[in-house]
Chain A
């Protein structure tokens, strides 16, 4: 293994790098398949059955079914692909982002309208005592 990349020190952030992409390949290919209306329909009609078409881990399938967004990031999902799951549920990027923060939808919207999340305190895990 190479040394831990610097971006792993950014709090509350999962950088989609080559190792995560490798782990998440089939998960992301599943998410990509949701671009087609007929696939969205089939997925909605039986989620697990549809997920079995993709050689991903059962852990990844369960996280999809439970919409465990941050867990899906850890398991190699990338936000742009995960958004297709949110769209399939007729939600937006913003909905998904709010879910990932653990805030309420209204709380997240209010934060954005007030200018967004300030950078202060969110630069470094080390500085936050998380590392």
Chain B
């Protein structure tokens, strides 16, 4: 049976991708950020998931304003990299898992989550920057990826509570797939940031720290944060953090926080990274290390 073994929360700031693509990671501005992700990459290298479910948002690249799906799952064989306006990032195309994705959609719709099915789409920095941060720059990505795009561009994004519950449904749907797969789910975007109007540049470190604490210890509490609180306290674009709650919902009640990193700034963003292992997977891994 397929199993979600862990969740990764990470920001997806486009400037991080640009820093990698333009060979700037050794510059003083970027050194602390990439150093902070080293343990995460090492963890990923050890864990070697078969499939990543990538919860992210499209930034007006795959979807224009003709159709705005709240939740959409990519069911394609392959997802090309979008040209967002400065040329496509020089990273490998993302390989999907159409059979597994189709199964997830089917289960989720029957579980009363109305998922939009996407059979062709390009993916933008929202998906590729987390891949780069966690997997570095391989010639081919080492696992298959199922993109789950969430609308956070046009208000309202789905509520934190809705997202948390979708996560729970994803856990069930994954476990109903009869193939031994190690699945890691990503929640991406955020943390505090605003990239528009006079308040641009807003960062709220206390909010971000509380969010990371809550993710580990009190996700039910976090799921109750209303949209206005994200917008007001952490910035207009911080609403992206609801996507981390999908990831958290998919991990079950108890988790083990195995890594956390926070850094300001990447461009206009407070960057957060957290790795949460499910209790079951954590015990297994501890056992292996001891043996």
Contacts and interface: CB of A to CB of B under 8 A. Distances in A.
Contact of B198 (A7, A21, A28, A100): A100
A97 interface: yes
B36 interface: no
B200 A25 contact: no
B60 interface: yes
A80 B268 CA distance: 14
Contacts of B115: none
Interface in A73-124: 73, 78-84, 87-88, 90, 92-94, 96-98, 100-102, 108, 111-113, 115-119, 122-124
Contact of A90 (B86, B265, B268): B86
Interface of B: 14-15, 18, 29, 59-61, 64-66, 82-87, 153-156, 192, 194-205, 207, 227-228, 231-233, 236-237, 264-265, 267-268, 270
B153 A16 contact: yes
B64 A32 contact: yes
A113 B265 contact: yes
B153 A80 contact: yes
Nearest to A31: B60
Contact of B65 (A28, A92, A93): A28
Nearest to B195: A97
Contact of B196 (A14, A94, A111, A115): A14
A40 B84 CA distance: 11
10 contacts: A10-B236, A16-B153, A16-B155, A36-B83, A79-B196, A92-B18, A94-B267, A100-B200, A116-B264, A117-B199
Contacts, number: 155
- State the majority secondary structure of interface residues on B: loop
A36 B83 CA distance: 7
A87 B202 contact: no
A101 B201 contact: yes
Given A40-B85, A112-B264, 10 more contacts: A10-B199, A12-B199, A13-B199, A15-B231, A79-B237, A93-B15, A94-B15, A94-B267, A116-B264, A117-B203
Nearest to B235: A13
Contacts of A82: 196
Chain A, interface residues (CB within 8 Å), range: 35 or more
Contact of A116 (B66, B155, B202): B202
Contacts of A60: none
B149 to A, nearest CB: 13
A5 to B, nearest CB: 9
Contacts of B237: 79
Contacts of B155: 7, 15-18
Nearest to A17: B155
A108 B201 contact: yes
A124 B229 CA distance: 12
Contacts of B154: 16-18, 21, 78
A82 B265 CA distance: 22
Contacts of A21: 65, 154
Given A13-B236, A116-B264, A29 B64 contact: yes
Contacts of A40: 85
Contact of A73 (B18, B196, B228): B196
A92 B125 CA distance: 13
Specify which of B203, B231, B233 lies most central, judged by the most chain A CB atoms within 10 Å of its CB.
B203
A49 B202 CA distance: 37
A-B CB proximity, top 10 nearest: A116-B203, A12-B198, A87-B85, A12-B199, A97-B200, A79-B196, A112-B265, A84-B85, A117-B201, A80-B59
Contacts of A28: 60, 64-65
A119 B64 contact: no
A59 to B, nearest CB: 18
A116 B85 contact: no
A111 B85 contact: no
B196 to A, nearest CB: 4
